[in-house]
């Protein structure tokens, strides 16, 4: 479970998060907002890689910014970045094994776990390909495999479908739907449609503030009657109301 209390983050002069207080309830949480709303900043705060300028963070009771909790908090949390332009000469299996080893697995366990994770993202036939030779969609799937390799309890996905062509997007949505049920997943997007089938709870960020936090069902009820894409319409209406407030 994620618990945030009055989290703020300011980059030199830009306020990115303001008084974000949040306790998640569901296993699958979507983080939605327009460009610049603060999604990546919030995910980085949750991943333990960006200390907030104020407020407190608890991940399954552990504070990733407290020296006593940090190691355990980071070992249970995995992050899938938007891009993975690293290790272009490493082979896929080698790269995912290496991430598993960095996350505390022995080398032989990491190798087996890498095989499982690569199989889970349907890339087993590219295990020996170099990272630099993969398409954008395949690279995104390796990014998911490296996040899964050490079996995290909390998986943070930064815009997992952004920039993919429709076919690769569908592949990724199917993979996200099939993620292990015992892992809590937080995934961000600026397109509601991409999260619609993969999450149960939604957090809408606007200008660094929480504009909505409730179930998908509750958000759908905010859509004007007869709308073709009710969640997208409700999202836009929440953002518009938040700006007027
Ligand atoms: N490293 C940084 N230095 C200064 N300002 C930043 C930095 N990163 C983000 N910001 C600013 O913080 C605000 C929130 O940015 P953030 O990237 O978290 O939003 P986002 O919702 O993830 O956007 P996008 O969908 O475009 O990725 C924006 O105003 C952005 O310009």
Phi and psi (nearest 5°) for 173?
A: -60, -40
Residues flanking ligand 1, CB < 6 Å: 11, 14, 16, 33, 35-41, 190
Q: Specify the pLDDT at position 82.
A: 83
d(CA 219, CA 212): 8
Rounded Cα gap, residues 81 and 159, in angstroms: 8
Question: What are the structural domain ranges in the chain?
Answer: 2-76+153-244, 83-151
* Ligand 1 pocket, mutate which of 9, 11, 32, 187 (most atoms under 8 A from CB): 11
Spell out, as residue ranges, where the chain has pLDDT lower than 70. Answer: none
Q: How much is the pLDDT for 179? A: 87
Q: Which of 168, 109, 108 is nearest to 144 (CA)?
A: 168
The candidate with the shortest Cα–Cα distance to 209, out of 244, 233, 242, is 242
Ligand 1 centroid to Cα of residue 119, in Å, is 34
Cross-strand bridge partners of residue 30: 187, 202
Q: For ligand 1, atom 16, name the residue with the nearest CA.
A: 38
> 107, 101 in Cβ contact below 8 A?
yes
Which pLDDT belongs to residue 40?
93
Contact call for residues 179 and 23 (beta carbons, < 8 A): no
Q: How far is Cα 100 from Cα 115, in angstroms, rounded to an integer?
A: 11
Q: Out of 14, 81, 82, give the residue to mutate to test ligand 1, the one with the largest number of ligand atoms within 8 Å of its CB.
A: 14
In this predicted structure, what is the pLDDT of residue 217? 92
The DSSP secondary structure of 1-55, one letter per residue, reads -EEEEEEEEEETTEEEEEEEEEE--SSEEEEE-STTSSHHHHHHHHHTSS--SEE
User: What is residue 68's predicted lDDT score, i.e. its pLDDT?
Assistant: 96
Q: What is the pTM of this model?
A: 0.92
Instruction: Output the six-digit token pair for 2.
Output: 């994620």
The closest alpha carbon to 242, from 209, 211, 203, 219, belongs to 211
Q: Name the CATH architecture for the domain at 2-76+153-244.
A: 3-Layer(aba) Sandwich (3.40)
Distance 165 CA to ligand 1 centre (A): 24
- Tell me the β-bridge partners of 79: 156
Cα 13 to averaged position of ligand 1 atoms, centre (Å)? 12
Nearest atom within ligand 1 for CA of residue 190: 25
Q: CA of 185: how far to CAs of 77, 120, 167, 218, in Å? A: 10, 16, 23, 20
Residue 177 confidence (pLDDT): 85
- Three-state secondary structure call for residue 97: helix
Q: How far is the CA of 153 from the centre of ligand 1 (A)?
A: 26
Give the other-Cβ count within 10 Å of 208's Cβ: 22
């Amino acid at each position: 479970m994620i618990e945030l209390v009055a989290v703020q983050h300011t980059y030199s002069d830009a306020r990115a998060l303001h008084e974000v207080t949040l306790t998640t309830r569901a296993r699958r949480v979507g983080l939605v907002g327009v460009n610049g709303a603060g999604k990546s900043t919030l995910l980085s705060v949750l991943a333990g890689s960006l200390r907030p300028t104020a407020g407190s963070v608890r991940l399954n009771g552990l504070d990733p910014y407290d020296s006593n909790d940090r190691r355990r908090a980071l070992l249970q949390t995995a992050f899938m970045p938007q891009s993975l332009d690293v290790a272009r000469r490493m082979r896929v299996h080698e790269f995912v094994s290496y991430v598993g080893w960095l996350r505390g697995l022995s080398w032989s366990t990491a190798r087996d776990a890498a095989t499982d994770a690569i199989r889970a993202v349907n890339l087993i036939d590219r295990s020996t390909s170099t990272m630099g030779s993969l398409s954008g969609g395949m690279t995104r799937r390796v990014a998911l495999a490296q996040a899964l390799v050490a079996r995290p309890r909390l998986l943070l996905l930064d815009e997992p479908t952004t920039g993919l062509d429709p076919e690769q997007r569908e592949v990724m949505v199917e993979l996200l739907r099939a993620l292990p049920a015992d892992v809590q997943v937080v995934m961000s997007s600026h397109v509601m449609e991409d999260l619609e089938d993969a999450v149960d709870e939604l957090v809408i960020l606007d200008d660094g503030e929480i504009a909505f936090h409730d179930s998908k069902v509750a958000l759908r009820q905010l859509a004007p009657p007869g709308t073709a894409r009710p969640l997208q319409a409700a999202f836009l209406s929440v953002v518009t109301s938040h700006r007027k407030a």
